[in-house]
Every structure is written in C-alpha cells, then in structure tokens.
Amino acid sequence: MDDELAISVRGLRKAYGDNVAVAGVDLDVRRGEVFALLGPNGAGKTTTVEILEGYRRRDAGEVRVLGSDPELAFGSRLRGSQARSSRAPGHPARDWRSRIGIVLQGTGEFDELTVIEVVRHFSGFYPDADDPAKVVERVGLGAKAKARTHTLSGGQKRRLDVALGIVGRPELLFLDEPTTGFDPEARREFWELIRDLAAAGTTIVLTTHYLDEAESLADRVGVIAAGRVIEVAPPKLLGNRQDALATVSWRTPEGALESAESAAPTALVAELAARYGGEVPGLTVTRPTLEDVYLRMIGHP
C-alpha cells in the first residue's frame, strides 16, 4: 500500500442474497484529505463505508485502511475463532481501532450524564486519548461541559458525537451524514469544525446528501451508483464541469426573458452590453452546479 494513501480498495464486492450492493469498487483516499462519498440511497455507499470501518464483511476484493485489512483488525467480531487465528502479526485489533474515529448518525443517549462525563468515559477506551476537557472545547461545547446531554440542542448533540469520534486522536475519521437536521447556521459552524480537524492533519471520509456541503468541504468527491464508483474528482472538475457551457440570461426592452448557452460567456455579455447601451436588464451567468452534474451522473434529469 502506498504510504500516501489512508485507504486503498480494489475490486470490492458485497451481496446480500441476490442483491448486489457493491459490484467491484476501486477507491483511494489520500492521507490528510477530506473525501466525500456521494450516492443515492441504495447505491452501496453505506455498505462500502461499513466495510472500511471493519463492521461488515466483504465477499471479495482487497481493502487496506491505514495499512491494515479491516477484516483482520476486526477479525474476532466478523469471523469468530478462525479469524482470530489468522490475524496477521503486527495488525492488532486494538491498535488499529484506536487510530480510527467514527461518527455515526447517532452515537447513543446519555441523558443523565454531563458532556464532560460522557467524553471522559469514552476516552478510557483508547490507549493514547486526548484530554477530554480540551476535546470538549475543541468541538465548541466548553460552555456546556457540565450540562446534562438531554439539555443539548440537536447541533450540540452532533458536536458531542464528534467529540466522541476524535477523543482517541484518530488518524482517520468517518462522518456519516454529519449535519442532517441542522439549521443553516449550525451547519456552517459544523463545517468550520471539520475544516479545523482537516487542517490538523486528520483524514476525513464524509458521506452526505448535501451537495453544497461536499463542495464546501471536500478536496475530492466520489460518486457511487448501483454499487460502482462512477467518477472521483475535485468538486470543480467532476463530470467535466469546468468545460460545461455557461447559460447567459437577460431581458429584452419588451420584458421578454431570453437565454443562450455559450463557451465564451464574457464575450457574449460584452456583446449584449454594446447592444443595450451598457446595462443589460436581468443579466445572469450560470454554470452547472455540482448538484446538476451529480444528478446527471446518477441518471436523474
């Protein structure tokens, strides 16, 4: 495995009976990047991520996460005594798991415990845990450290979930739909937290249905549909988005709306400005958004 890669996947396959959930996925995630995995429900992204996390067994393919096979690292859980006996030397489960952080859509309920009590409890699961008080501050819950968790807002509970995911100082953090149900302000605040984690060197794998979230946070995005990865690219380059025609729209003196697609929108705008004496009523210039490209790629109009 390339030392620059946090995750390397080749030929990954997983089926549930006759239903093929993952049909030959190849995927690389570089160390230190934020990687967003996009796909409709049923596309196979959840199964893929669970295999990477070590919680689900694959049918075929090669998988390396931080240099180890997740099935070997979680062997006792996935395959019983046979896996325990076959675990490769140098890949102890506890050591590997301590390098992984996972933030699920809901970690659990701890209504009668305070924020600091919950984080301190989870820190005991790791051999080199971060200071719980510092982690609580880092996720923006310092003022709520002694508050019982049932008094937290939805956004604050999500921050607590992240605190539990990072208290073990993970090299790799999995975020599953991290801002579902957030209001716009809470989402923006959460994005800043993710940027801070990435700036500190944490590799982040993000699954989300919010295309603006992927565009704002991700260095690269991968689109998965029908169990296969369609494309991996930076958001601005996905689906040759950078080469797409721009749509220029304007209003005529009579008030009619007109539009034209152009590979040279600046020249078209200059032409319109000359035609209308400087100001072009109702002028807009748009290019396909990430959402436009994504919907086209997964087969939606």
List the CATH number of the domain containing 134.
3.40.50.300
DSSP per residue over 86-119, as a string?
A: HPPTT--HHHHHHTEEEE-S-----TTSBHHHHH
* Residues 132 and 248 reside in one and the same domain: no
* Residues 175 and 259 reside in one and the same domain: no
* Residues 124 and 257 reside in one and the same domain: no
Number of structural domains, the chain? Answer: 2
HSE-CB at 10 with a 13 A cutoff on CA atoms is 5
In which band, very low, low, confident or very high, does the pLDDT at 84 lie, cut at 50, 70 and 90? Answer: very low
> Quick one: average pLDDT of 210-236?
94
* Residues 232 and 247 reside in one and the same domain: no
Range of the domain at 272: 243-296
* Residues 259 and 143 reside in one and the same domain: no
> Quick one: average pLDDT of 36-55?
92
For 46-80, write each residue's pLDDT tens digit: 999 999 999 899 999 999 999 999 988 665 445 44
The domain boundary residue, chosen from 220, 237, 254:
237
* Residues 185 and 252 reside in one and the same domain: no
HSE-CB at 296 with a 13 A cutoff on CA atoms is 12
* Residues 261 and 228 reside in one and the same domain: no
* Residues 158 and 256 reside in one and the same domain: no
**Please, which residues bridge with residue 249 across strands?**
259, 284
Is 301 domain-assigned?
no
Q: Which residue has the higher pLDDT, 109 or 249?
A: 249
Q: Rounded mean pLDDT of the chain?
A: 87
**Please, which residues bridge with residue 65 across strands?**
7, 68
* Residues 189 and 255 reside in one and the same domain: no
* Residues 222 and 271 reside in one and the same domain: no
**CA–CA distance, 227 with 7 (Å, rounded to integer):** 18
Is 197 domain-assigned?
yes
* Residues 249 and 227 reside in one and the same domain: no
* Residues 220 and 86 reside in one and the same domain: yes
